[in-house]
Structure 1
C-alpha cells in the first residue's frame, strides 16, 4: 500500500469517526469465510457498517480528532481489528456482537473498545454495560414522561373532582325540590 493510499484511508476514517458518534473496535481474527459472510450479513441487516483496517491507520485517524482516545492504547489497537459503525444508536453494534458471539465461538469475535458519544469503553467486559445504555431519544422520552406525569395527575384530579362536585350539587338540588 502506497503512502497516498494510506493517507486517503486515514482521511476517510477521520471523517467517519468525526461524523459517527458510535463506533466499536472488535477483535475478529480466526473466522472462517462462512462466519465472515454471516457477520457481514448480520451487519447489513442491522444497518451497521463493518470495516477491517490496520491498527496503525486507526490510531492515526483517531489522533486527528479533538476527542481524547488515549484509552485505546496498545491493548485495543493490537492484533486483527475491525470497526463497527452505527449512525444512530450505541446499542445496535453491542447487540450485534452479543448475537454473533452466541452463534460462533466467543474467542473469534470480541469487543476491544468502543466510543459512544465520545465516551470510551475498553474491554470485552463492557459489552453488557453498552447493551444497557439508553440512547438520547430514550432518555429524553423518559424525562418528558416524568415531567408530564405530575401535570397529568393534577388535570385528571381536577376533572374527576369537578364531576364529583357537579354530581353532589345535582343531588342536593334534587333533594331540595322533593
Structure 2
C-alpha cells in the first residue's frame, strides 16, 4: 500500500474517532476570516473545551459515511471547518453562532448532535440552548425557591406562636 493512502486512512480513522467521541459537532464556512479573527475564534473555542479543525472534505465524508452520518456529506462543499464539542453538545454551536453574529464571513452550515445531522437553521436554534451548567443552576433555583418560601412561612408561623405565648 502506498504511503499517501496510509496517511489518508489514518486521517479518516482520526476523524471517525472525533465524530464518535463528540457530543456536538458544527460545520462552518470560514472563508474570508482574517488571521486575527480566526485566532480570536480558535481562542474562544479552546477556552470552552471545543476542538476546531479543518480537514479535506472527502476524508470527512468517508468517515461520516462509515459512521452512518452520510447526510452530512451534502454540507461538505468549499472550505469547511469543524468544531468538536466533547463536554457540552451545544458549546460549538453557541460559540460559532455568537461569533458569526459579529463576523459575517463565518457561516454555519450544519451540525451533528447525538449522532443526528441538523441543517444550519436547526443548529442556530440549538445554539440558543444554555450550557448544561446553566440549565442545572436554573433547575436548582426553581427547586430552591418554593423551599425557601416554605421555610420563611414556617419561621413566620413559629415566631407568631412564640409571640402569642409570650403575651
- The alignment's TM-score, normalised by the length of structure 2, stands at 0.78
For residues 162 and 35 of structure 1, the distance between their equivalents in structure 2, rounded to whole angstroms, comes to: 61
Across the aligned residues of Structure 1 and Structure 2, the Cα RMSD in angstroms comes to 2.8
Q: Is the 8 A contact 1:49 1:85 kept in 2?
A: yes
1:13 Cα deviation from its structure 2 partner: 1.1
Q: Is the 8 A contact 1:23 1:85 kept in 2?
A: yes
The answer to whether 1:115 aligns with 2:117 is no
Query: Which residue in 2 is equivalent to 1:24?
Result: 26
User: How does 1:80-99 map onto structure 2 within 5 Å?
Assistant: 80-99=79-98
1:119 Cα deviation from its structure 2 partner: 4.4
Q: Deviations over 1:125-149 (max 9, x none)?
A: 3454233112333333333333333
- Unpaired runs of 5+ in structure 1? 172-178
For residues 35 and 158 of structure 1, the distance between their equivalents in structure 2, rounded to whole angstroms, comes to: 56
For residues 148 and 38 of structure 1, the distance between their equivalents in structure 2, rounded to whole angstroms, comes to: 38
- The alignment's TM-score, normalised by the length of structure 1, stands at 0.74
Query: Which residue in 2 is equivalent to 1:160?
Result: 156
- Unpaired runs of 5+ in structure 2? none
1:52 Cα deviation from its structure 2 partner: 0.8
Query: Which residue in 2 is equivalent to 1:13?
Result: 15
User: How does 1:17-166 map onto structure 2 within 5 Å?
Assistant: 17-33=19-35, 35-65=37-67, 69-74=69-74, 76-104=75-103, 106=104, 108-123=105-120, 125-126=121-122, 128-166=124-162
Query: Which residue in 2 is equivalent to 1:174?
Result: none
Q: Is the 8 A contact 2:24 2:85 kept in 1?
A: yes
